[in-house]
Structures are given as structure tokens and as C-alpha cells.
Chain A
Amino acid sequence: MAKSTAVTAYDKVKLARQNGRPTGVEYIDHMFQDFIELHGDRRYADDKAIVGGIAYLAGRPVTVIAIEKGRNSKERMAHNFGAPHPEGYRKALRLMKQAEKFKRPVICFVDTSGAYCGIGAEERGEGQAIAENIVEMMSLKTPTISILIGEGGSGGALALAVADRVWMLENAVYSVISPEGCASILWKDASKADEAAESLKLTAADALSMGIIEQMIPENELGKDVFYEKLGAMLSRELRQLEELNESDLLSRRFARFRSLGVPGREER
């Protein structure tokens, strides 16, 4: 099979998962000042797969939340490879409600293969935690921006991405199921993951064309100071615009944004 220079969808999946790609905490470290991490969901535990707290973004107080995969094997174990348990989503929600109270905008960095599939996660209501986040984010009375920086794995990603603006890095992916999972369910063959990745239309360019995201962030300077500077400036600019809206406009536009997605007849080819 001739490999063209064009990067395939599955290549993007691999890039999105690649070790060495900046993880959530690196964005926090580089773009925000005086970050103070806040722990725990006040109900069960502190889930390290999600890191959150308060900080300044170019002088503006913000709440920042990131799904963290970890940068080396030790960190990856500690952060559960960025697969949050219900308590992680509940911590994120607690911090978002706190941001609403103190009128701080919320910035989320999303990078997860999905919410954790485990016994404890089910016992403590993974589905309920995600559902609650979706509902509460839809009605959070403060501006919200979510950026998918690597993997956007299904409901586990959406639980932090019901925002006024959703952006994606050029090589990030956003999908309803992993290409491997899709291939093994539909075709009983996980090795057809590349075909599945193509069919799922999970790249940032696909998401942009379908209106799932507003911005695709170029990656040519990924990880460099100038990359974070530019992204930080974009965030500040966008927040200024969102802050001009009154509360009811902000919320009705946020709902309208999601209401318009997948209305039959609209995306017809």
C-alpha cells in the first residue's frame, strides 16, 4: 500500500497518543501564573487523573482543569493514564461550581482515552457523574472554554467539553469510540483500526467542518514557549468576548451551539 505524504486519520490517533506530547499539567505550568492545585471531590476521594485549581491567565483569575495522562511511566501510573473515575468528574464539577460563584471563567484541557472502565468506577456511578457534568456545564453561569489537546475519548472527554468554545489541536482526535474498539465490535477485528479511524471522522479538521469545534490550533510550534504564548493570547481574547455577553445570552448561545449538532437534514452530503 502506497503511503502518501498525507497523514491518515489513524496516524493522527497515534500522534494524539504519542509519549512526549505535552500533557495537561504542562499547559497549566506554561500558560498560567500562580497555579494553586485544589484536590478532592468532597465525597469520596481525590482522583489524580484530573488536575484542577485556580490561577491567573494574563492577570485574569481563572479556574483551570486538566485531564492528566502523566509524562513518564511513574506519572502515568499515578494519574491512571488519564482515565478519570467518577470522583475526578465530581472534583471538576466542584471546581466549576466554585468558579461560577466567584465569577471566574473555566478553562478545561481534555486528553483522555476515555473514562475509566472498572469495577469501582461503575460502583460509584461513572455514567451518573458524566451525565451530571454535562447538565451542569450546559448551565454554568460563567464563560467556559475546553481545548482537546490529545485524545478526546467519548463521554469521558465530553464530560469536560460542554463549553462555550471547544478548540482542538491540529493532531488531537475526538471520537465516540476508539478506532480499535469500533473495529473489534463492528468487524470483529481490532487490526482494522486504521479503517475505523478513517470512517469515524475523528480528526480536528473533520470536527471543524461538522461544527463540533470552533478552532483548530496549529501544532508546528507545539511545546515551545511561543506556542503557549499564542494559545494564552487566544484564550484571553476569547474570554474578553465571552465576558461581554450577559448571563442569559451566554447560556442560550451555549445551548444553541449543541442544539444545532446533528439535526437531521443539515449534514446531508
Chain B
Amino acid sequence: MPFIEFLFKPKNELEKGGRQSAQIATADENEPSKPCPNCRKMVPLSQLWANHNTCECGYHFRMNVRQRINFICDQDSFQEWDRDMVSKDILDFPGYKTKLENTRNACSENEAVICGRAKIGGQDCCLFIMEPYFMMGSMGTVVGEKITRTFERATELGLPVVGYTVSGGARMQEGILSLMQMAKTSGAVKKHSDAGLFYLTVLTDPTTGGVTASFAMEGDIILSEPGALIGFAGPRVIEQTVRKKLPSGFQRAEFVLEHGFIDAIVPRSTQKETIAKLLKIHCGGEDNG
């Protein structure tokens, strides 16, 4: 990683709250813009939205779950499931109740994953999309349950599953029950797989911890966005453990591809058509042009 990029690398992404507000694009010269952490240019927001939240230099900004749905699903095709399922402070964990309330208000989502069914390029599928602005997509019991149900419904419906992951890992505030979600979701993935159905994961920045060590890595095909951090342990923990500087590009999608753990890196510019093609080849029968 170039030094300058390192400087601008977010230090701790696990607990970032809030969400980017959707700004309306204007032709105004003084229109709002934001700096690209990669090329350091100011990117006008209108240009950002036109390019699915990416910079000209190829840098992929984070997307919230609603932007993601608009970007990937055919218009008005998304039907949401279990929207009202909310986490409770099951362990009476200090500060968790307040944190949940604040996060719900700040990000206007009920939980860190949104599930449902949709069409992508005309292909029917079930979908789960994790929300980076909800406790950095951390996996507690509700996230585990919603994803498990998505696989169970997909199995009943005979549909493929497309899953977008972004997560700091299992949610500490729900303790060991969060860890158990790794086993629960994996069991549901396995049943879906045994039914001969297709599961595609798209790993986005960052995908780490218990999510990497369960359903993120269990796809029949695993795609990633460029530059996404993908790993089990976070880079800071590793740096503290091995007491040396990590090699440049360590745990980035390109590194993970090189080491053989993902199938392809697909930028947003071709993501939707790639996913539609993959769905079609697995479910759509012959290619009729």
C-alpha cells in the first residue's frame, strides 16, 4: 500500500455509527464533494452517485443497504422480509440497549442485515445485504436468524441466494449467542446447498471475523469488490500479535484473490450484469441470447 493510502486508511471501522446522508446532485459549481481516500481528489457527490459511489480512480466508497438494493435489484422488485425483527439486550450488557436505540435512529434500519427476495437482471433470487452503518454489520442473534430464515425460505422456494457481506464480526454485546449464529447460519447454508441451489457471496469492505469464518466463505462462488478488506483477524490485532508491520495490501481483495480464497474481483461498474449472468447460468437454463 502506498504510504499516502496508509495514512488515510480508516483506523477502526468497527464501531462507526451514522450514515452518509443522500445528497441531491446539483449542477452547482460549489456543489458538495468529498475527498477520495485513494487519489485524494475531491469527488463531487453528483459524480459519486452517478458512478455507484465509486471514484474515477477506482476507489469504492461504502454503500448503505438501501443504496445497495437500488443499485443491484431490478426496479421495485425487492420485497423485504422480517423488517421488524429487532435485537434485544438479552445479556443485559452495559450500554447495549442505548447503543441499539441510537444506532436505529441514526441509520434508520432496524438491524445490520436486510433480507428479502428480488429480481436481478430478470433473475429471481433471495437476497441478504449487510449494513455497514449499523454497528459495522456486526452479527448478533437477529442477523443470524434473518440470514438463516433467508436460506430456509430460499430452500423452500427453490431459489438461489445472493449475499452481500460487510462485517466487523460477531457482536460482542450478545456474547456466546452471537458466536452460535456462525453455526446456525452455516447449517442453513448447507441445507440450501444440499438442495442443489446456488449461493453467491459478494464480499465488501470490510468482511472480517465470524462472518468471514462462516457464511461469507461458504458461497459456491465468492466475489469481492476491489480493495475490500477480507480476513479473519483484523489487521491491528495481527500487528499487535506478530509485532511487525504488515505487508502492503495485506488482506485486501487483491491479496485474497492471489492466495486463492475468492473467485473474482468485480467492480460495481460490471457487478449487476455479472451477478445476473451467474444467476442465469445456474438457474436460467440455456442461453437464449
Seen from chain A, the residues whose Cβ lies within 8 Å of a Cβ on chain B are 115-119, 121-128, 130-132, 134-135, 138-139, 154-155, 158-159, 162, 174-177, 181-182, 185-186, 195, 199-202, 206-207, 210, 212, 255, 258-259, 261-264, 267-269
Contact = CB atoms under 8 A, between A and B. Distances in A.
B91 interface: yes
B4 interface: no
Contacts, number: 185
B188 to A, nearest CB: 8
User: Considering residues A121, A158, A267, which has the most beta carbons from chain B within 10 angstroms of its beta carbon?
Assistant: A158
Nearest to A89: B213
B180 A131 contact: no
A115 B232 contact: yes
A182 B181 CA distance: 18
A126 B170 contact: no
Contacts of A127: 208, 212-213, 216-217, 230-232
B282 to A, nearest CB: 19
User: Considering residues B144, B212, B233, which has the most beta carbons from chain A within 10 angstroms of its beta carbon?
Assistant: B233
B158 interface: no
> Which secondary structure dominates chain B's binding surface?
helix
B195 interface: no
B187 A122 contact: no
A133 to B, nearest CB: 9
A195 B93 CA distance: 10
Given A117-B238, A118-B238, A264 B182 contact: no
Given A124-B259, A259-B148, 9 more contacts: A117-B233, A119-B250, A132-B217, A134-B182, A135-B189, A199-B92, A200-B93, A210-B177, A258-B183
Given A134-B182, A154-B210, A264-B142, A119 B247 contact: yes
B54 interface: no
B232 A258 contact: no
B14 A125 contact: no
Interface in B57-92: 85-88, 90-92
